[in-house]
């Protein structure tokens, strides 16, 4: 387990531990129930290391989850250009840390207040609370957007503008079910399909052409 990730749940662990102790004084069933919840909390905040592909042409998923949509649209917050958006839905069973899709410097980070509608809805990208990031290197700028969901209500940022991140390095997380979007240049070849399950920092989602 990774300490920084576990610290995000310190109050959850503390409260469940207290409940488990109190429950043990009442009945063994309450003790077992709160121990189960404590185990589930540890499972949710797991944060395994990943094998990251080193080829600079390869762009990796920014989150674990299921590919829900791959669409062309204008990205007007940073790039002001038509892009291909890859949407990833994170269920409560997925790892919820977010990872850099490329080697690059963080050149943009902006939080936006919003709603917390179901992250599987197509309109959640415009309505939900979000944090938008830009990762830039000499070859490309990739935009990543973290979105809250009906259960997820907290976006955590571990990195900041100016940080240099390696591909697959953690930059934040979203608590509980949510959505992460990766905005790719049209010149990139997408190698995943809707319905695929991807692993953040490890699964290749697109490839840049050789230069």
Write the pLDDT tens digit of every residue in 89-117: 998 889 999 999 999 999 999 999 877 77
- Where residue 195 falls (left for φ over 0; alpha for ψ -120 to 50; beta otherwise) is left
Instruction: Please tell me the predicted confidence (pLDDT) of residue 7.
Output: 85
The correct answer on CATH 3.20.20 for the domain covering 58-207 is no
Write the pLDDT tens digit of every residue in 132-189: 999 999 999 999 999 987 665 689 999 999 999 999 999 999 877 689 999 999 999 9
Per cent of the chain over pLDDT 90 is 69
Lowest mean pLDDT among 24-28, 37-41, 123-127, 163-167: 123-127
pTM value? Answer: 0.90
Residues annotated as catalytic are: 178
- Per domain, the residue ranges of the chain are 3-44, 58-207
């Amino acid at each position: 387990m990774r300490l920084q990730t576990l610290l995000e749940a310190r109050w959850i662990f503390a409260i469940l531990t207290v409940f488990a102790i109190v429950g043990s004084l009442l009945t063994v069933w309450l003790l077992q129930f709160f121990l189960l919840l404590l185990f589930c909390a540890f499972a949710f905040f797991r944060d395994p290391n990943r094998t990251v592909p080193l080829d600079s042409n390869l762009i990796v998923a920014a989150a674990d989850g299921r590919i829900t949509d791959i669409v062309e649209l204008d990205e007007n917050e940073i790039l002001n250009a038509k892009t291909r958006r890859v949407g990833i839905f994170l269920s409560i069973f997925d790892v919820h840390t977010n990872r850099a899709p490329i080697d690059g410097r963080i050149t943009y980070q902006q939080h936006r207040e919003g709603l917390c509608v179901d992250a599987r809805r197509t309109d959640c990208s415009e309505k939900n609370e979000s944090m938008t990031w830009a990762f830039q290197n000499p070859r490309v700028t990739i935009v990543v957007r973290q979105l809250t969901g009906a259960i997820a209500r907290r976006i955590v940022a571990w990195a900041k503008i100016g940080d240099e991140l390696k591909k697959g390095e953690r930059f934040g997380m979203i608590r509980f079910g949510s959505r992460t979007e990766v905005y790719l240049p049209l010149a990139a070849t997408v190698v995943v399909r809707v319905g695929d399950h991807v692993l953040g920092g490890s699964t290749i989602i697109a490839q840049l052409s050789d230069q």
